[in-house]
């Protein structure tokens, strides 16, 4: 019989894609050595702050102006009291990851954010950034060569009006997710117009829309004043009424602008209602287009996670489930991906033992890999297709012994390590001894040492996570991808047209700003000439904007020349013939052989002829929306080099 240990071995070492979190882009970009254990582990974590308040610690020892040593002792007094809750389990996992016992407020100066995230096995993370904080996207130039991809997500409140220019800034920075806070679902009806504009942009650029439903954010005015709006004291509203949610999604669908959507509810009583609702909004060729999201906020513990799994399996399709994200401000919270994987594997093992799930590796392994990694990879991938053996694509990968890398190749999963990394990078056995911490009454109570194993929901004790890195500090299996992945073009077997919609941006100051230097006759001629010379793909309709360009293209030869090889070729041709001296005063003027375009681009394979028409209508009106012309037909930098006709057969 397939056991927990076998199931867990299939997913334990898969990379982590964390598509929604609250990490600070500035901290990630600076990548400075970390401070003390307190400043890294306790200070940024509202969960810990809330527990300290419940245990009676005064606010000045939590978020106030008390010395760090006193705040640390307040946390030490609190932790032993948390036995039985998820925070206690997470704390043990976090200490285990660091390879320390947590009795001293030690320095973590041997760690940097990038070292920690690589050691966790992070491949992609998406910190949320508000539209009003767009200047933080200036850091994007410093978020390269980290060993993983950092791409901001756009954080909105329901009803926020977002200029198209802001959306395009986020697009240029690699955004793949727009996150909308909807405290009261009736607001979905009242605020449809501004949200439909955001949804239209998201749909046209294959972004995913997150709807966070039902938070009661206005509770204690005293705590809000003392600790800020994210102090860990929000409440939970009554279960979300699915009717206004259905109406909102239906209106978007009728207008052809419904993007991929994840519904996250704070009240677990709504899990079943929303899981049922997701089956009403589907799209050909898009598995799980609208789906129930992971257990969120107050629900991301063992009971909440198991409830979401049960509801997703009963009312949806488990193999399309998007899996886990941290939704956290703490670097150490990435242990929760392993927490989720252990819970998932224990739950599946129980189902196998009772006969509810088949004891069949060919069915279970792809399902687990999809939930833990591949579904999230598809979501952030612009094309939405993952290659499997033989070069074909499939929403459910065939069983295999190797895990696909983002580029489509396969590499063997790394073997697990039995030692926990110390801050210095070496490995050491998990500590067994611990000291005593003073309790508020003056007595001493033992501070828990990281155990060899942590209890699972079923009562057994599967192993705690261990490091993915080696003793020398290498990153093991981590794929060093600096930009969003682009998988192979799908060569259709039913003779449908193969047409890609592509957006390419100009490089600029700090790799974030885009130099407005494309909207002139010489550059226009330069780009068109490059496309005509690079004739293994045919460019159809196109629009060249001042700082980016959109176009449709289709392969001219079979077998298909790799898309990225072709696009890299014509980019080099443009760079070689680009007129010297054109540029923005804030950016060094381009010279011959200078890099003109950002290294990456966004590309989407069209699925229907309607999609082709809709995207072109949106693209051709870009100059109008930017105020460059009043009539789209009057924009001089557009055209059609080849007729790309959509055909189904």
**pLDDT for res 240:** 85
Q: Which of 211, 314, 190 minimizes the C-alpha distance to 260?
A: 211
Q: Is 42 helix (H, G, I), strand (E, B) or coil?
A: helix
Contact 294, 336 (CB under 8 A): no
In angstroms, how far is CA 75 from the centroid of its own chain? Answer: 31
Checking 625-631 for CB contacts under 8 A at 24+ apart, the result is 625/164, 626/164, 626/165, 626/545, 626/546, 628/519, 628/546
Please enumerate in sequence order all residues whose Cβ is within 8 A of that of 379, keeping only pairs 6 or more positions apart, or say none. 19, 176, 208, 260, 322
First to last CA, the chain: 46
- Can you read off the two tokens belonging to residue 384? 């939405």
Q: What residue ranges of the chain have pLDDT lower than 50?
A: 382-488, 491-495, 509-514, 516, 583-593
Measured CA to CA, the distance from residue 463 to residue 96 in angstroms comes to: 11
Could you give the dihedral angle defined by the CA atoms of residues 26, 30, 35 and 38, in that order, rounded to the nearest 10 degrees?
A: 20
Checking 573-579 for CB contacts under 8 A at 24+ apart, the result is 573/529, 573/530, 573/533, 573/534, 574/526, 574/527, 574/530, 577/526, 577/529, 577/530, 578/523, 578/526, 579/522, 579/523, 579/526
Q: Which of 540, 605, 610, 526 minimizes the C-alpha distance to 571?
A: 526
Q: What is the pLDDT of residues 294-327, one digit of tens each?
A: 999 889 999 999 999 999 999 999 999 999 999 9
Measured CA to CA, the distance from residue 33 to residue 278 in angstroms comes to: 44
pTM score: 0.65
Q: Would residue 19 be called left, alpha or beta, if left means φ above 0 and alpha means ψ between -120 and 50 degrees?
A: alpha
**pLDDT for res 610:** 66
Q: What is the pLDDT of residues 76-133, one digit of tens each?
A: 999 999 999 999 999 999 999 999 999 999 999 999 999 999 999 999 999 999 988 8
**pLDDT for res 172:** 86
**pLDDT for res 433:** 33
Measured CA to CA, the distance from residue 606 to residue 579 in angstroms comes to: 34
Q: Respond yes or no on whether the N-terminal peptide bond of residue 559 is cis (omega within 30° of 0).
A: yes
Lateral strand order in the sheet of 500-505: 602-605, 500-505, 548-555, 537-544, 638-640
For the chain, the 3-state helix, strand and coil shares in percent, each to the nearest 5, are 40, 15, 45
């Amino acid at each position: 019989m397939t056991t927990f240990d076998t199931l867990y071995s299939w997913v334990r070492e898969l990379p982590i894609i964390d598509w929604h979190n609250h990490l600070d882009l500035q901290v990630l970009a600076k990548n400075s050595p970390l401070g003390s254990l307190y400043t890294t582990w306790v200070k940024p974590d509202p969960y810990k702050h809330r527990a300290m308040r419940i245990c009676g610690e005064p606010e000045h020892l939590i978020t106030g102006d008390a010395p760090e040593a006193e705040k640390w002792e307040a946390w030490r007094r609190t932790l032993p009291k948390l036995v039985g809750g998820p925070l206690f389990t997470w704390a043990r996992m976090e200490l285990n990851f660091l390879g320390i016992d947590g009795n001293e407020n030690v320095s973590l100066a041997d760690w940097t954010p990038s070292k920690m995230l690589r050691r966790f096995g992070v491949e992609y993370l998406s910190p949320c950034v508000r539209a009003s904080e767009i200047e933080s996207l200036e850091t994007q130039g410093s978020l390269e060569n980290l060993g993983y991809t950092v791409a901001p997500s756009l954080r909105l409140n329901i009803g926020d009006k977002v200029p198209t220019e802001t959306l395009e800034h986020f697009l240029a920075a690699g955004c793949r997710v727009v996150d909308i806070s909807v405290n009261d679902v009736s607001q979905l009806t009242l605020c449809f117009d501004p949200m439909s504009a955001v949804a239209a942009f998201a749909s046209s650029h294959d972004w995913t829309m997150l709807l966070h439903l039902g938070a009661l954010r206005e509770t204690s005015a005293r705590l809000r004043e003392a600790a800020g709006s994210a102090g860990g004291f929000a409440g939970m509203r009554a279960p979300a009424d699915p009717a206004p949610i259905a109406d909102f999604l239906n209106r978007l669908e009728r207008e052809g602008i419904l993007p991929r959507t994840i519904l996250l509810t704070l009240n677990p009583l709504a899990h079943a209602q929303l899981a049922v609702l997701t089956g009403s909004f589907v799209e050909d060729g898009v598995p799980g287009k609208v789906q129930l999201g992971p257990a969120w906020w107050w629900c991301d513990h063992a009971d909440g996670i198991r409830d979401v799994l049960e509801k997703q399996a009963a009312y949806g399709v488990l193999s399309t489930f998007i899996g886990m994200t941290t939704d956290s401000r703490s670097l150490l919270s990435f242990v929760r991906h392993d927490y989720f994987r252990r819970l998932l594997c224990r739950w599946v093992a129980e189902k196998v033992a009772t006969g509810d799930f088949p004891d069949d590796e060919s069915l279970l392994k792809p399902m687990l890999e999809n939930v833990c990694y591949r579904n999230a990879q598809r979501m952030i991938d612009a094309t939405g297709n993952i290659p499997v053996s033989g070069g074909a694509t499939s929403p459910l990968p065939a069983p295999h012994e190797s895990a696909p890398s983002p580029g489509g190749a396969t590499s063997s999963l790394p073997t697990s390590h039995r030692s926990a990394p110390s801050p210095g990078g070496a490995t050491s056995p998990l500590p067994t001894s611990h000291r005593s911490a003073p309790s508020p009454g003056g007595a001493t109570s033992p501070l828990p040492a990281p155990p060899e194993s942590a209890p699972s929901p079923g009562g057994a004790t599967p192993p705690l996570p261990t490091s993915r890195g080696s003793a020398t500090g290498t990153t093991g299996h981590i794929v060093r991808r600096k930009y969003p992945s682009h998988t192979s073009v799908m060569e259709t077997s039913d003779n449908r047209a193969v047409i890609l919609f592509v957006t390419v941006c100009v490089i600029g100051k700090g790799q974030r700003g885009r130099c407005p230097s494309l909207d002139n006759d010489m550059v226009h001629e330069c780009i068109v000439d490059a496309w005509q010379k690079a004739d293994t793909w045919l460019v159809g309709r196109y629009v060249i904007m001042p700082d980016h360009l959109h176009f449709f293209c289709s392969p001219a030869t079979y077998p298909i020349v790799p898309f990225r090889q072709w696009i890299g070729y014509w980019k080099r041709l443009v760079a070689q013939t680009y007129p010297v001296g054109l540029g923005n005063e804030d950016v060094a003027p381009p010279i011959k052989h200078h890099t003109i375009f950002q290294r990456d681009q966004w590309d989407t394979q069209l699925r229907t002829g309607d999609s082709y028409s809709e995207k072109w209508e949106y693209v051709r009106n870009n100059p109008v929306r930017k105020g460059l012309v009043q009539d789209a037909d009057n924009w001089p930098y557009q055209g059609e080099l080849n007729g790309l006709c959509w055909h189904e057969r």
